[in-house]
């Protein structure tokens, strides 16, 4: 933490306070709007969540099925994007050929609009699981890769030289010299990539899938 560390108790109460403030703003907004169709208050929503979890949804499936499917998609797509991103970023860092070949692709992929990628994936793969996975990987992998690549540029060259002098194989170098130095970059990519994955999966479900939180949102959006 840049501004010094904060004690455990203080940290918990600060977090609770910030969530409390959000709920308060929400509640005040709903009172001002005074229209439960547009902005229902936290109490109304809380009760509705309770009711939805207790009863089957409009398609006959429980909310748990939809939530579970969404979470499963997020975990699979996130893991695949992280692994692919780390592998590509590392390969770019290790090979000058791959670096110059792939570096030009990164800005291209990073500027790809999420909604466009989701529509493309639906066009290519239809209403299938593959579409969501491809959309996430196409959008998240380049982000992870560029982070890891930056990390390889910041590595301590003298340690790599030490490993090479002792005739360490590439695989040993990657495990003991490269990856430990890349951990901060992997963690920072992890945070951001997780948020991105969540949003893209929800979007892909909204437009391209039958089950999941996003598909239920779309259902209710259409029926009001």
Partner 1 sequence: MMAQVIMEQVARPGAVSLSTIAVNNLTKRFPAPGAESSFTVLDSISLSVDEGEFVSIVGPSGCGKSTLLNIIAGIESYESGSVTVAPRAGKSDSGSRIGYVFQSPRLLNWLTVQDNIQFVLEAQNIPRSRWQELVAKHLDMVGLSGQERNYPLNLSGGMQQRVAIARVLAIEPDILLMDEPFSHLDAITARKMRLDLIDILTKARPTILFVTHDLAEAVFLSDRIYMMNAKPARIFNEVPVDISRPRKPEDSKILDLEKTLVREFFGVLEAKD
Binding to partner 1 by residue 7, rule CB under 8 A? no
- Please state, as a whole number, how many other Cβ atoms lie within 10 Å of the Cβ of residue 110: 12
Q: Per CB under 8 A, which of residues 83..142 are in contact with partner 1? A: none
Q: Does 161 bind partner 1 (CB under 8 A)?
A: yes
**At closest approach, how far in Å is the CB of 84 from partner 1?**
25
Radius of gyration of the CA atoms of the chain, in A: 22
Separation of alpha carbons 16 and 112, rounded Å: 36
Kindly state whether residue 159 participates in binding partner 1, applying the rule CB under 8 A: yes
Alpha helix locations (H) across the chain? 8-33, 42-54, 63-94, 96-103, 105-110, 114-125, 129-153, 157-165, 170-173, 179-208, 213-222
Question: Is residue 184 at the binding interface for partner 1, with CB under 8 A as the rule?
Answer: no
Question: Looking at 10, 170, 176, 210, which residue binds partner 1 (CB under 8 A)?
Answer: 176
* Binding span for partner 1 by CB under 8 A among 16-24, 56-64, 88-96, 160-168: 160-168
Based on CB atoms, which residue is closest to partner 1, 167 or 191?
167
Report yes or no: 215 and 205 within 8 Å, Cβ to Cβ: yes
The footprint of partner 1 (CB under 8 A) covers 158-159, 161-169, 172, 176-177, 180
């Amino acid at each position: 933490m840049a501004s010094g560390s904060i004690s455990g108790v203080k940290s918990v109460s600060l977090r609770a306070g910030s969530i409390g403030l959000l709920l308060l703003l929400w509640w005040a907004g709903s009172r001002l709007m005074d229209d439960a169709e547009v902005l229902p208050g936290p109490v109304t929503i809380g009760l509705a969540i309770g009711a939805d979890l207790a009863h089957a949804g409009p398609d006959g499936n429980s909310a748990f099925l939809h939530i579970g499917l969404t979470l499963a998609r997020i975990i699979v797509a996130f893991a695949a994007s992280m692994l692919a991103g780390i592998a590509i970023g590392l390969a770019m860092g290790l090979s000058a050929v791959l670096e110059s070949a792939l570096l030009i692709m990164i800005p291209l992929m990073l500027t790809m609009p999420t909604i466009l990628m989701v529509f493309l994936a639906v066009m290519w793969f239809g209403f299938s699981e593959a579409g969501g996975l491809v959309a996430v990987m196409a959008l998240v992998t380049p982000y992870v890769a560029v982070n890891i690549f930056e990390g390889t540029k910041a590595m301590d060259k003298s340690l790599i030289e030490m490993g090479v002098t002792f005739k360490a194989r590439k695989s040993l170098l990657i495990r003991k010299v490269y990856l430990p130095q890349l951990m901060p970059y992997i963690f920072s990519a992890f945070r951001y990539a997780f948020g991105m994955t969540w949003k893209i999966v929800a979007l892909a479900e909204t437009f391209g899938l039958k089950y999941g939180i996003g598909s239920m949102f779309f259902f209710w959006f259409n029926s009001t």
